Amino acid sequence: MPVAMTVEELERFFLAEFPRSFYPESGLTIEAVWERGRRVRQAFRQRSVRPGGTISGPTMMALADFAMYVAVLAAIGPVPLAVTINLNINFLRRPAPRDLIAEARLLKLGKRSPPARSPFARTARRSPLPTSPRRIRSRPKRKRYYKTTKISD
């Protein structure tokens, strides 16, 4: 499946459509887009650390959601009304307080609401982090199946 949007096109799209969520100070960056895969980063911010010295669950879930949205749009093109209809994370290990990296890999494209799952998530040291099964609904007319968010720091 060819890439429908480049990193630059995705960044322009997010800046235009989601200026309150994706802006230079948000810490979110799209690092790479390739056939069937995408990598995004959430820069470390002290306010994302919860008691116990780990990155908060909502920060990890937001990054997983963003990674999958980037994966969907990179594959099908700009569809602002693609929405997450389910997101679940299995927390396997707490991440260290530093940048988080999420890699989303597409399994297949289809015609209905797309299920996605991240069976492997790792840090730079290759230790498991949260996995994120999820579903996205692409509206109005392009409905596809996708897979996976891999979060690492």
**Over residues 125-148, mean pLDDT:** 52
Q: Give residue 121's pLDDT.
A: 39
Q: Give residue 126's pLDDT.
A: 47
User: Is 114 within 8 Å of 146 (Cβ atoms)?
Assistant: yes
Nearest to 75 by CA among 29, 110, 31: 110
Greater pLDDT, 139 or 4:
4
User: Is 114 within 8 Å of 144 (Cβ atoms)?
Assistant: yes
Nearest to 74 by CA among 112, 135, 107, 32: 32
Confidence of residue 89 (pLDDT cuts 50, 70, 90): confident
- In this structure, of 41-45, 48-52, 89-93, 135-139, the range with the lowest mean pLDDT score is 135-139
Most distant pair of Cα atoms in the chain: their distance? 45
Confidence of residue 75 (pLDDT cuts 50, 70, 90): confident
User: Is 135 within 8 Å of 114 (Cβ atoms)?
Assistant: yes
Greater pLDDT, 120 or 143:
143
Main-chain dihedrals φ then ψ at residue 25, nearest 5 degrees: -80, -5
**Over residues 124-152, mean pLDDT:** 53
Q: Give residue 125's pLDDT.
A: 46
**Over residues 74-81, mean pLDDT:** 85
Q: What is the mean pLDDT of the chain?
A: 77
pLDDT at 13 over 90: yes
Nearest to 55 by CA among 23, 9, 101: 101
**Over residues 126-141, mean pLDDT:** 52
